[in-house]
Structure 1
Amino acid sequence: MDVRDLRCLVTGTASGIGDAVARRLIDGGASVVSLDRNKPTADVTEHVEVDLADPSSIDSALEQIDGTVDAVVNVAGVPGTAPPETVFAVNFLGMRHLTESMFERINPGGAIVVVSSTAGFQWPARLDTHKEVIATESFEEGAAWFRDHPQQGNAYNFSKEAATVYTLAMGGAVREMGDLRINAVLPGPVETPILSDFEESMGKETLEGVRAFLGRHAEAEDIALPIVFLAGRESRWVNGATLVADGGITGAVSAGLVPAPEI
Protein backbone atom coordinates (compact mmCIF):
# COMPACT_ATOMS: atom_id res chain seq x y z
CA MET A 1 0.00 0.00 0.00
CA ASP A 2 1.33 3.37 -1.05
CA VAL A 3 1.72 5.56 2.03
CA ARG A 4 5.32 6.63 1.48
CA ASP A 5 6.04 10.19 2.61
CA LEU A 6 2.48 10.72 3.85
CA ARG A 7 2.04 12.52 7.17
CA CYS A 8 -0.71 10.80 9.13
CA LEU A 9 -2.45 11.91 12.32
CA VAL A 10 -3.53 8.77 14.18
CA THR A 11 -5.52 8.49 17.41
CA GLY A 12 -5.41 5.54 19.78
CA THR A 13 -1.83 4.57 18.95
CA ALA A 14 -0.84 3.28 22.38
CA SER A 15 -2.37 -0.18 21.99
CA GLY A 16 -4.43 -2.56 19.90
CA ILE A 17 -5.56 -1.52 16.44
CA GLY A 18 -4.06 1.97 16.71
CA ASP A 19 -0.64 0.54 17.52
CA ALA A 20 -0.87 -1.83 14.55
CA VAL A 21 -1.92 1.02 12.25
CA ALA A 22 0.96 3.22 13.39
CA ARG A 23 3.50 0.45 12.83
CA ARG A 24 2.11 -0.46 9.40
CA LEU A 25 2.17 3.20 8.31
CA ILE A 26 5.73 3.68 9.56
CA ASP A 27 6.87 0.48 7.85
CA GLY A 28 5.37 1.84 4.62
CA GLY A 29 7.37 5.04 4.81
CA ALA A 30 4.79 7.36 6.35
CA SER A 31 5.35 9.62 9.33
CA VAL A 32 2.89 9.31 12.21
CA VAL A 33 1.72 12.04 14.54
CA SER A 34 0.22 10.23 17.53
CA LEU A 35 -2.69 11.33 19.71
CA ASP A 36 -3.50 9.22 22.75
CA ARG A 37 -3.85 9.44 26.51
CA ASN A 38 -0.87 7.10 26.79
CA LYS A 39 2.50 7.16 25.05
CA PRO A 40 2.85 4.71 22.15
CA THR A 41 5.70 2.23 21.78
CA ALA A 42 5.78 2.55 17.98
CA ASP A 43 8.45 4.83 16.52
CA VAL A 44 6.11 7.75 15.84
CA THR A 45 7.43 11.11 14.68
CA GLU A 46 5.52 13.04 17.31
CA HIS A 47 3.17 12.24 20.21
CA VAL A 48 0.70 14.55 21.93
CA GLU A 49 -1.41 13.53 24.90
CA VAL A 50 -5.15 14.02 24.47
CA ASP A 51 -8.46 13.23 26.14
CA LEU A 52 -11.02 12.74 23.39
CA ALA A 53 -13.87 13.13 25.89
CA ASP A 54 -12.84 16.77 26.39
CA PRO A 55 -13.06 19.21 23.45
CA SER A 56 -10.67 21.64 25.12
CA SER A 57 -8.08 18.86 25.37
CA ILE A 58 -8.54 18.14 21.66
CA ASP A 59 -8.12 21.81 20.80
CA SER A 60 -4.99 22.07 22.95
CA ALA A 61 -3.48 18.95 21.41
CA LEU A 62 -4.05 20.15 17.85
CA GLU A 63 -2.50 23.52 18.69
CA GLN A 64 0.71 21.65 19.55
CA ILE A 65 0.88 20.07 16.10
CA ASP A 66 2.39 22.18 13.33
CA GLY A 67 1.52 22.13 9.67
CA THR A 68 -0.73 19.94 7.59
CA VAL A 69 -1.36 16.22 7.28
CA ASP A 70 -2.31 13.85 4.49
CA ALA A 71 -4.59 11.64 6.56
CA VAL A 72 -6.56 11.75 9.80
CA VAL A 73 -7.08 8.24 11.16
CA ASN A 74 -9.58 7.98 14.01
CA VAL A 75 -8.88 4.71 15.81
CA ALA A 76 -9.31 5.63 19.48
CA GLY A 77 -12.42 4.39 21.23
CA VAL A 78 -13.75 3.09 24.52
CA PRO A 79 -15.90 0.00 25.18
CA GLY A 80 -19.40 -0.13 26.58
CA THR A 81 -18.16 -0.74 30.11
CA ALA A 82 -17.34 2.98 30.40
CA PRO A 83 -20.07 5.44 31.47
CA PRO A 84 -22.51 6.07 28.58
CA GLU A 85 -21.67 9.79 28.34
CA THR A 86 -17.97 8.95 28.05
CA VAL A 87 -18.61 6.29 25.42
CA PHE A 88 -20.60 8.68 23.25
CA ALA A 89 -18.15 11.53 23.84
CA VAL A 90 -15.06 9.57 22.81
CA ASN A 91 -16.49 7.33 20.10
CA PHE A 92 -18.50 9.96 18.27
CA LEU A 93 -18.32 13.53 19.58
CA GLY A 94 -14.56 13.60 20.11
CA MET A 95 -13.93 11.88 16.79
CA ARG A 96 -16.13 14.40 15.00
CA HIS A 97 -14.64 17.40 16.81
CA LEU A 98 -11.09 16.35 16.00
CA THR A 99 -11.91 15.51 12.38
CA GLU A 100 -13.72 18.77 11.69
CA SER A 101 -11.03 20.78 13.48
CA MET A 102 -8.55 19.30 10.99
CA PHE A 103 -10.54 19.89 7.79
CA GLU A 104 -8.51 22.94 6.76
CA ARG A 105 -5.24 21.22 7.66
CA ILE A 106 -5.65 18.13 5.48
CA ASN A 107 -3.73 18.38 2.22
CA PRO A 108 -5.69 18.23 -1.06
CA GLY A 109 -6.54 14.64 -1.94
CA GLY A 110 -6.16 13.60 1.68
CA ALA A 111 -8.04 10.95 3.62
CA ILE A 112 -10.13 10.66 6.76
CA VAL A 113 -10.62 7.20 8.23
CA VAL A 114 -13.13 6.42 10.96
CA VAL A 115 -13.00 3.16 12.89
CA SER A 116 -16.62 2.30 13.60
CA SER A 117 -17.88 -1.21 14.40
CA THR A 118 -20.23 -3.93 13.21
CA ALA A 119 -21.92 -3.39 16.59
CA GLY A 120 -23.52 -0.40 14.89
CA PHE A 121 -25.27 -2.54 12.29
CA GLN A 122 -28.74 -1.33 13.33
CA TRP A 123 -28.19 2.24 12.15
CA PRO A 124 -30.76 2.02 9.28
CA ALA A 125 -33.54 1.44 11.82
CA ARG A 126 -32.55 4.64 13.65
CA LEU A 127 -31.52 6.79 10.72
CA ASP A 128 -33.87 9.65 11.58
CA THR A 129 -32.47 9.73 15.11
CA HIS A 130 -28.91 9.79 13.83
CA LYS A 131 -29.75 12.60 11.43
CA GLU A 132 -30.62 14.61 14.54
CA VAL A 133 -27.32 13.58 16.15
CA ILE A 134 -25.12 14.62 13.25
CA ALA A 135 -27.10 17.85 12.83
CA THR A 136 -25.79 19.06 16.20
CA GLU A 137 -23.17 21.70 15.50
CA SER A 138 -20.72 21.28 18.35
CA PHE A 139 -19.34 18.84 20.91
CA GLU A 140 -21.34 20.55 23.64
CA GLU A 141 -24.58 20.55 21.64
CA GLY A 142 -24.12 16.87 20.81
CA ALA A 143 -23.48 16.02 24.45
CA ALA A 144 -26.63 17.90 25.46
CA TRP A 145 -28.63 16.03 22.83
CA PHE A 146 -27.38 12.71 24.21
CA ARG A 147 -28.35 13.65 27.75
CA ASP A 148 -31.82 14.73 26.62
CA HIS A 149 -32.57 11.70 24.42
CA PRO A 150 -32.34 8.31 26.15
CA GLN A 151 -31.29 6.02 23.31
CA GLN A 152 -32.39 2.48 22.52
CA GLY A 153 -29.73 -0.16 23.04
CA ASN A 154 -26.39 0.48 24.69
CA ALA A 155 -24.23 3.55 24.30
CA TYR A 156 -21.42 1.73 22.47
CA ASN A 157 -23.69 0.48 19.70
CA PHE A 158 -25.37 3.88 19.46
CA SER A 159 -22.04 5.71 19.25
CA LYS A 160 -20.82 3.44 16.46
CA GLU A 161 -24.09 3.81 14.57
CA ALA A 162 -23.58 7.57 14.74
CA ALA A 163 -19.99 7.25 13.51
CA THR A 164 -21.12 5.14 10.56
CA VAL A 165 -23.94 7.51 9.57
CA TYR A 166 -21.60 10.50 9.90
CA THR A 167 -19.13 8.85 7.52
CA LEU A 168 -21.81 8.05 4.96
CA ALA A 169 -23.24 11.56 5.17
CA MET A 170 -19.97 13.48 4.90
CA GLY A 171 -18.55 12.01 1.69
CA GLY A 172 -19.90 14.74 -0.57
CA ALA A 173 -19.02 17.54 1.81
CA VAL A 174 -15.38 16.56 2.22
CA ARG A 175 -15.00 15.99 -1.52
CA GLU A 176 -15.66 19.71 -1.93
CA MET A 177 -12.94 20.52 0.65
CA GLY A 178 -9.88 20.02 -1.49
CA ASP A 179 -10.92 16.66 -2.94
CA LEU A 180 -10.81 14.93 0.45
CA ARG A 181 -12.41 11.57 1.18
CA ILE A 182 -13.86 9.94 4.30
CA ASN A 183 -14.44 6.24 4.87
CA ALA A 184 -15.07 3.92 7.78
CA VAL A 185 -13.79 0.49 8.72
CA LEU A 186 -16.23 -1.68 10.69
CA PRO A 187 -14.43 -4.42 12.64
CA GLY A 188 -16.06 -7.27 14.49
CA PRO A 189 -14.47 -8.68 17.66
CA VAL A 190 -10.70 -8.12 17.80
CA GLU A 191 -8.07 -9.64 20.09
CA THR A 192 -6.99 -6.45 21.84
CA PRO A 193 -6.41 -5.51 25.50
CA ILE A 194 -10.05 -4.36 25.81
CA LEU A 195 -11.67 -7.54 24.43
CA SER A 196 -12.68 -8.56 27.96
CA ASP A 197 -14.56 -5.26 28.30
CA PHE A 198 -16.55 -6.10 25.18
CA GLU A 199 -17.28 -9.57 26.57
CA GLU A 200 -18.65 -7.91 29.69
CA SER A 201 -20.75 -5.31 27.88
CA MET A 202 -21.96 -7.42 24.94
CA GLY A 203 -22.00 -10.84 26.56
CA LYS A 204 -19.24 -13.42 26.48
CA GLU A 205 -21.59 -16.00 24.98
CA THR A 206 -22.33 -13.70 22.03
CA LEU A 207 -18.66 -13.11 21.26
CA GLU A 208 -17.80 -16.78 21.74
CA GLY A 209 -20.51 -17.58 19.19
CA VAL A 210 -18.78 -15.29 16.70
CA ARG A 211 -15.45 -16.94 17.44
CA ALA A 212 -16.95 -20.40 16.97
CA PHE A 213 -18.44 -19.46 13.59
CA LEU A 214 -15.26 -17.83 12.26
CA GLY A 215 -12.69 -20.04 13.99
CA ARG A 216 -11.00 -17.05 15.63
CA HIS A 217 -11.36 -13.37 16.39
CA ALA A 218 -9.48 -10.81 14.33
CA GLU A 219 -5.97 -9.77 15.24
CA ALA A 220 -5.20 -6.05 15.33
CA GLU A 221 -3.16 -6.41 12.15
CA ASP A 222 -6.22 -7.78 10.30
CA ILE A 223 -7.98 -4.47 10.91
CA ALA A 224 -4.92 -2.26 10.44
CA LEU A 225 -4.50 -3.38 6.83
CA PRO A 226 -7.82 -2.02 5.49
CA ILE A 227 -7.38 1.13 7.58
CA VAL A 228 -3.99 1.81 6.02
CA PHE A 229 -5.44 1.11 2.57
CA LEU A 230 -8.11 3.77 3.12
CA ALA A 231 -5.46 6.22 4.38
CA GLY A 232 -3.23 5.56 1.37
CA ARG A 233 -3.13 6.64 -2.24
CA GLU A 234 -4.75 3.55 -3.80
CA SER A 235 -8.12 4.39 -2.22
CA ARG A 236 -8.33 7.77 -3.97
CA TRP A 237 -11.77 7.03 -5.50
CA VAL A 238 -13.29 5.43 -2.38
CA ASN A 239 -15.40 7.96 -0.51
CA GLY A 240 -18.36 7.91 1.86
CA ALA A 241 -18.03 4.15 2.15
CA THR A 242 -17.96 1.55 4.90
CA LEU A 243 -15.61 -1.41 4.76
CA VAL A 244 -16.69 -4.33 6.95
CA ALA A 245 -13.68 -6.24 8.29
CA ASP A 246 -15.22 -8.98 10.41
CA GLY A 247 -14.25 -12.24 8.75
CA GLY A 248 -17.70 -12.68 7.23
CA ILE A 249 -20.02 -12.78 10.26
CA THR A 250 -22.10 -9.78 9.13
CA GLY A 251 -22.59 -11.32 5.70
CA ALA A 252 -23.68 -14.60 7.27
CA VAL A 253 -26.16 -12.78 9.49
CA SER A 254 -27.51 -10.79 6.53
CA ALA A 255 -27.96 -13.99 4.52
CA GLY A 256 -29.81 -15.62 7.39
CA LEU A 257 -27.19 -18.31 7.88
CA VAL A 258 -26.63 -17.44 11.52
CA PRO A 259 -28.90 -15.54 13.93
CA ALA A 260 -28.21 -11.87 14.56
CA PRO A 261 -26.33 -11.42 17.83
CA GLU A 262 -28.30 -9.98 20.71
CA ILE A 263 -26.12 -6.96 21.47
Structure 2
Amino acid sequence: MTDVWSYKDKRVVIAGCFSGMGEACARELVRLGAEVHGVDIKKSPVDLATFTQLDLRDIPAIEQAVASIGGAVDAVFNCAGLPQTFPATDVVGVNFVAIRYWTEQWIPRIRDGGAIVTVASNSAMNYQARLALLKEFIAIDTPDGALAWIADHLADVGDGYGFSKEALLVWTQMRSVDLIQRGIRINATLPSPTATPMMKDFESLTGKRILDLFALPSGRQSTAEEQAWPLIFLNSAAAGFISGACLPVDCAFTGGVNTGLIDVGKLVAAARANGDHPSK
Protein backbone atom coordinates (compact mmCIF):
# COMPACT_ATOMS: atom_id res chain seq x y z
CA MET A 1 0.00 0.00 0.00
CA THR A 2 1.27 3.50 -0.85
CA ASP A 3 2.29 5.64 2.11
CA VAL A 4 0.23 8.75 1.41
CA TRP A 5 2.24 10.75 3.94
CA SER A 6 5.64 9.95 2.44
CA TYR A 7 7.90 12.21 0.38
CA LYS A 8 10.55 9.54 -0.08
CA ASP A 9 11.99 9.68 -3.62
CA LYS A 10 9.78 12.65 -4.52
CA ARG A 11 11.38 15.56 -6.36
CA VAL A 12 10.20 19.01 -5.27
CA VAL A 13 11.07 22.68 -5.84
CA ILE A 14 10.74 25.54 -3.36
CA ALA A 15 10.76 29.25 -4.11
CA GLY A 16 11.87 31.11 -1.00
CA CYS A 17 14.01 28.60 0.91
CA PHE A 18 16.40 31.01 2.64
CA SER A 19 14.37 31.71 5.77
CA GLY A 20 10.98 31.56 7.44
CA MET A 21 8.28 29.21 6.20
CA GLY A 22 10.25 28.25 3.11
CA GLU A 23 13.32 27.25 5.10
CA ALA A 24 11.18 25.28 7.55
CA CYS A 25 9.39 23.61 4.67
CA ALA A 26 12.65 22.70 2.91
CA ARG A 27 14.21 21.35 6.10
CA GLU A 28 11.22 19.10 6.85
CA LEU A 29 10.99 17.86 3.25
CA VAL A 30 14.65 16.86 3.32
CA ARG A 31 13.99 15.00 6.57
CA LEU A 32 11.04 13.25 4.92
CA GLY A 33 13.28 11.96 2.14
CA ALA A 34 12.44 14.33 -0.70
CA GLU A 35 14.91 15.54 -3.30
CA VAL A 36 14.61 19.27 -2.70
CA HIS A 37 15.67 21.97 -5.16
CA GLY A 38 15.44 25.54 -3.94
CA VAL A 39 15.68 29.08 -5.24
CA ASP A 40 16.01 32.34 -3.34
CA ILE A 41 17.89 35.62 -3.43
CA LYS A 42 20.12 34.36 -0.59
CA LYS A 43 21.61 30.90 -0.19
CA SER A 44 19.52 28.50 1.87
CA PRO A 45 21.02 27.11 5.10
CA VAL A 46 19.32 23.78 4.33
CA ASP A 47 21.31 20.95 2.72
CA LEU A 48 19.41 20.86 -0.57
CA ALA A 49 19.93 18.74 -3.66
CA THR A 50 20.57 22.02 -5.51
CA PHE A 51 20.29 25.71 -4.75
CA THR A 52 19.88 28.38 -7.44
CA GLN A 53 20.22 32.06 -6.60
CA LEU A 54 17.23 33.90 -8.03
CA ASP A 55 15.80 37.38 -7.70
CA LEU A 56 12.15 36.95 -8.62
CA ARG A 57 12.03 40.54 -9.88
CA ASP A 58 14.13 39.30 -12.82
CA ILE A 59 11.54 37.53 -14.99
CA PRO A 60 14.00 36.16 -17.62
CA ALA A 61 16.08 34.68 -14.79
CA ILE A 62 13.06 32.64 -13.69
CA GLU A 63 13.09 30.72 -16.97
CA GLN A 64 16.84 30.18 -16.61
CA ALA A 65 16.44 28.87 -13.06
CA VAL A 66 13.74 26.39 -14.09
CA ALA A 67 15.88 25.19 -17.00
CA SER A 68 18.90 24.88 -14.72
CA ILE A 69 17.04 22.68 -12.23
CA GLY A 70 15.34 20.83 -15.09
CA GLY A 71 13.57 17.50 -15.06
CA ALA A 72 10.16 16.47 -13.78
CA VAL A 73 8.87 17.32 -10.31
CA ASP A 74 6.19 16.03 -7.99
CA ALA A 75 5.47 19.25 -6.11
CA VAL A 76 5.98 23.01 -6.23
CA PHE A 77 6.12 25.03 -3.01
CA ASN A 78 5.74 28.82 -3.35
CA CYS A 79 6.99 30.42 -0.15
CA ALA A 80 8.76 33.52 -1.51
CA GLY A 81 7.45 37.03 -1.09
CA LEU A 82 8.18 40.66 -0.30
CA PRO A 83 6.70 42.79 2.51
CA GLN A 84 5.23 46.19 1.87
CA THR A 85 8.48 47.92 2.84
CA PHE A 86 9.28 47.57 -0.88
CA PRO A 87 7.58 49.61 -3.62
CA ALA A 88 4.10 48.35 -4.46
CA THR A 89 5.12 47.44 -8.00
CA ASP A 90 7.87 45.19 -6.65
CA VAL A 91 5.57 43.68 -4.03
CA VAL A 92 2.88 42.67 -6.50
CA GLY A 93 5.52 41.90 -9.11
CA VAL A 94 7.18 39.31 -6.86
CA ASN A 95 4.27 38.06 -4.75
CA PHE A 96 1.96 37.43 -7.66
CA VAL A 97 3.38 38.11 -11.13
CA ALA A 98 6.69 36.30 -10.58
CA ILE A 99 5.21 33.49 -8.47
CA ARG A 100 2.60 32.83 -11.13
CA TYR A 101 5.23 32.89 -13.89
CA TRP A 102 7.55 30.58 -11.95
CA THR A 103 4.68 28.17 -11.32
CA GLU A 104 3.52 28.18 -14.93
CA GLN A 105 7.06 27.30 -16.04
CA TRP A 106 6.90 24.21 -13.84
CA ILE A 107 3.40 23.03 -14.72
CA PRO A 108 4.47 21.13 -17.89
CA ARG A 109 7.08 19.38 -15.75
CA ILE A 110 4.76 18.31 -12.92
CA ARG A 111 4.09 14.59 -12.89
CA ASP A 112 0.55 13.22 -12.87
CA GLY A 113 -0.74 13.36 -9.32
CA GLY A 114 1.54 16.27 -8.49
CA ALA A 115 0.62 19.43 -6.64
CA ILE A 116 1.30 23.13 -6.11
CA VAL A 117 0.88 25.13 -2.92
CA THR A 118 1.35 28.86 -2.37
CA VAL A 119 1.64 30.94 0.78
CA ALA A 120 -0.90 33.80 0.80
CA SER A 121 -2.01 35.59 3.99
CA ASN A 122 -5.04 35.96 6.22
CA SER A 123 -4.88 39.66 5.36
CA ALA A 124 -6.34 38.57 2.00
CA MET A 125 -9.41 36.86 3.44
CA ASN A 126 -11.77 39.58 2.14
CA TYR A 127 -10.70 39.09 -1.49
CA GLN A 128 -14.27 38.59 -2.71
CA ALA A 129 -15.02 42.27 -2.05
CA ARG A 130 -13.01 43.17 -5.15
CA LEU A 131 -13.24 39.95 -7.12
CA ALA A 132 -14.04 41.67 -10.43
CA LEU A 133 -10.92 43.85 -10.22
CA LEU A 134 -8.73 40.89 -9.28
CA LYS A 135 -10.06 38.83 -12.17
CA GLU A 136 -9.37 41.72 -14.54
CA PHE A 137 -5.77 41.77 -13.34
CA ILE A 138 -5.31 38.00 -13.41
CA ALA A 139 -6.63 37.84 -16.99
CA ILE A 140 -3.45 39.62 -18.11
CA ASP A 141 -1.25 36.58 -18.63
CA THR A 142 2.08 38.17 -19.56
CA PRO A 143 4.49 39.53 -16.91
CA ASP A 144 5.07 42.78 -18.81
CA GLY A 145 1.34 43.32 -19.24
CA ALA A 146 0.64 42.57 -15.58
CA LEU A 147 3.37 44.94 -14.40
CA ALA A 148 2.03 47.68 -16.67
CA TRP A 149 -1.46 47.13 -15.22
CA ILE A 150 -0.08 47.54 -11.70
CA ALA A 151 1.58 50.83 -12.64
CA ASP A 152 -1.75 52.09 -14.01
CA HIS A 153 -3.77 51.00 -10.94
CA LEU A 154 -1.63 52.05 -7.98
CA ALA A 155 -4.66 53.47 -6.17
CA ASP A 156 -6.32 50.04 -6.29
CA VAL A 157 -3.12 48.16 -5.47
CA GLY A 158 -2.26 50.27 -2.41
CA ASP A 159 0.91 49.06 -0.68
CA GLY A 160 0.71 45.94 -2.84
CA TYR A 161 0.81 43.29 -0.14
CA GLY A 162 -2.87 42.60 0.45
CA PHE A 163 -3.67 42.95 -3.25
CA SER A 164 -0.95 40.47 -4.25
CA LYS A 165 -2.14 37.89 -1.74
CA GLU A 166 -5.76 38.34 -2.82
CA ALA A 167 -4.68 37.76 -6.42
CA LEU A 168 -2.93 34.55 -5.39
CA LEU A 169 -6.14 33.23 -3.81
CA VAL A 170 -8.27 34.01 -6.86
CA TRP A 171 -5.69 32.63 -9.30
CA THR A 172 -5.32 29.44 -7.23
CA GLN A 173 -9.04 28.75 -7.32
CA MET A 174 -9.42 29.59 -10.99
CA ARG A 175 -6.41 27.53 -12.04
CA SER A 176 -7.55 24.53 -10.02
CA VAL A 177 -10.50 23.90 -12.36
CA ASP A 178 -8.41 23.18 -15.44
CA LEU A 179 -5.31 21.75 -13.77
CA ILE A 180 -7.23 18.94 -12.13
CA GLN A 181 -8.12 17.71 -15.62
CA ARG A 182 -4.39 17.02 -15.98
CA GLY A 183 -4.13 15.37 -12.58
CA ILE A 184 -2.46 18.38 -10.93
CA ARG A 185 -3.76 19.96 -7.72
CA ILE A 186 -3.21 23.55 -6.60
CA ASN A 187 -3.96 25.07 -3.19
CA ALA A 188 -3.00 28.02 -1.00
CA THR A 189 -2.66 28.77 2.69
CA LEU A 190 -3.63 31.92 4.60
CA PRO A 191 -1.18 32.24 7.50
CA SER A 192 -1.69 34.49 10.47
CA PRO A 193 1.28 36.57 11.71
CA THR A 194 4.27 34.25 11.95
CA ALA A 195 7.55 34.59 13.82
CA THR A 196 9.87 34.88 10.82
CA PRO A 197 12.57 37.45 9.93
CA MET A 198 10.05 39.28 7.72
CA MET A 199 7.82 40.03 10.70
CA LYS A 200 9.90 43.03 11.76
CA ASP A 201 9.09 44.66 8.41
CA PHE A 202 5.36 44.17 8.93
CA GLU A 203 5.58 45.51 12.48
CA SER A 204 7.51 48.61 11.37
CA LEU A 205 4.66 49.55 9.04
CA THR A 206 1.55 48.30 10.79
CA GLY A 207 2.53 48.40 14.43
CA LYS A 208 2.89 45.32 16.61
CA ARG A 209 -0.32 45.91 18.60
CA ILE A 210 -2.44 46.20 15.47
CA LEU A 211 -0.69 43.26 13.83
CA ASP A 212 -1.34 41.18 16.95
CA LEU A 213 -5.08 41.59 16.32
CA PHE A 214 -4.64 39.21 13.39
CA ALA A 215 -3.24 36.62 15.78
CA LEU A 216 -6.48 36.50 17.80
CA PRO A 217 -7.78 34.38 19.48
CA SER A 218 -4.61 32.28 19.99
CA GLY A 219 -2.79 35.31 21.36
CA ARG A 220 0.52 34.46 19.73
CA GLN A 221 2.30 34.35 16.41
CA SER A 222 2.66 30.97 14.77
CA THR A 223 6.05 29.40 14.20
CA ALA A 224 7.49 28.85 10.74
CA GLU A 225 7.16 25.10 11.30
CA GLU A 226 3.46 25.41 12.13
CA GLN A 227 2.98 27.05 8.74
CA ALA A 228 5.25 24.60 6.89
CA TRP A 229 3.43 21.45 7.99
CA PRO A 230 0.10 22.35 6.32
CA LEU A 231 1.99 23.22 3.12
CA ILE A 232 3.62 19.82 3.13
CA PHE A 233 0.28 18.13 3.81
CA LEU A 234 -1.46 19.91 0.93
CA ASN A 235 1.20 18.75 -1.54
CA SER A 236 1.18 15.18 -0.25
CA ALA A 237 -0.85 12.26 -1.54
CA ALA A 238 -2.84 12.45 1.72
CA ALA A 239 -4.52 15.58 0.29
CA GLY A 240 -5.22 13.85 -3.01
CA PHE A 241 -8.82 15.10 -3.26
CA ILE A 242 -8.11 18.66 -2.17
CA SER A 243 -7.68 21.26 -4.90
CA GLY A 244 -8.67 24.90 -5.16
CA ALA A 245 -8.64 25.21 -1.38
CA CYS A 246 -7.57 28.38 0.41
CA LEU A 247 -6.75 27.04 3.85
CA PRO A 248 -6.62 29.44 6.82
CA VAL A 249 -3.71 28.54 9.09
CA ASP A 250 -4.48 31.06 11.80
CA CYS A 251 -5.70 29.13 14.85
CA ALA A 252 -9.38 30.20 14.80
CA PHE A 253 -8.95 33.79 13.58
CA THR A 254 -10.94 33.16 10.39
CA GLY A 255 -13.57 31.27 12.33
CA GLY A 256 -13.98 34.22 14.65
CA VAL A 257 -14.24 36.73 11.80
CA ASN A 258 -16.67 34.61 9.76
CA THR A 259 -19.03 34.19 12.70
CA GLY A 260 -18.84 37.79 13.90
CA LEU A 261 -17.03 36.98 17.13
CA ILE A 262 -14.02 38.99 15.95
CA ASP A 263 -14.66 42.39 14.35
CA VAL A 264 -11.27 43.38 12.98
CA GLY A 265 -12.43 46.79 11.79
CA LYS A 266 -13.65 47.80 15.21
CA LEU A 267 -10.55 46.41 16.93
CA VAL A 268 -8.19 48.24 14.59
CA ALA A 269 -10.18 51.49 14.95
CA ALA A 270 -10.07 51.16 18.74
CA ALA A 271 -6.33 50.48 18.71
CA ARG A 272 -5.70 53.56 16.57
CA ALA A 273 -7.98 55.68 18.74
CA ASN A 274 -5.79 54.65 21.69
CA GLY A 275 -2.76 55.96 19.87
CA ASP A 276 -1.35 52.69 18.56
CA HIS A 277 0.83 53.27 15.55
CA PRO A 278 3.71 51.54 13.73
CA SER A 279 6.34 52.62 16.25
CA LYS A 280 4.56 50.83 19.09
Tell me which residue corresponds to 2:19: 15
1:172 to 152, 174, 177: 177
Distance 1:214 1:28 in 2: 29
Greater mean alpha carbon deviation, residues 191-200 or residues 209-218: 209-218
Matched, 1:192 2:172: no
2:239 to 213, 235, 238: 235
Partner of 2:167: 162
Q: Shift of the alpha carbon at 1:205?
A: 2.0
Deviation at 1:233, TM superposition (A): 1.2
In the alignment, structure 1 residue 39 sits paired with structure 2 residue 43: yes
Corresponding residue of 1:257: 261
Q: Distance in 1 between matches of 2:157 and 2:233?
A: 34
Cα distance in 2 between the residues matched to 1:68 and 1:211: 38
Residues 114 and 6 (structure 1), Cα distance of their counterparts in 2 relative to 1, 3 Å cut: same
The one-letter amino acid of 2:81's match is G
Name which of structure 1's ranges 69-78 and 53-62 shifts more when overlaid on structure 2: 53-62
Identity %: 39
Q: CA RMSD in A?
A: 1.5
Distance 2:159 2:259 in 1: 25
How many equivalent pairs are there? 262
Structure 2 counterpart SS, 1:113: strand
Match of 1:74 in 2: 78
Given that 2:192 and 2:215 are in contact with CA atoms closer than 8 Å, whether structure 1 keeps it comes out as: no
Alignment of 1:40-189 (within 5 A): 40-150=44-154, 151=156, 153-177=158-182, 179-189=183-193
Give the partner amino acid of 2:15.
Answer: T
Which has the higher Rg, Structure 1 or Structure 2? 2
Confirm or deny: 8 A CA contact 1:3 1:231 kept in the other structure.
no
5+ unaligned residues in a row in structure 2: which ranges? 270-280
Q: Counterparts of 1:119 and 1:180 in 2: how far apart (Å)?
A: 27
Q: How many Å separate the matches in 2 of 1:70 and 1:212?
A: 35
Deviation at 1:155, TM superposition (A): 0.9
Give the stretch that moved more between structures: 205-214 or 110-119.
205-214
Note the C-alpha offset of 1:201: 2.7
Q: How far did residue 214 of structure 1 move? A: 1.5
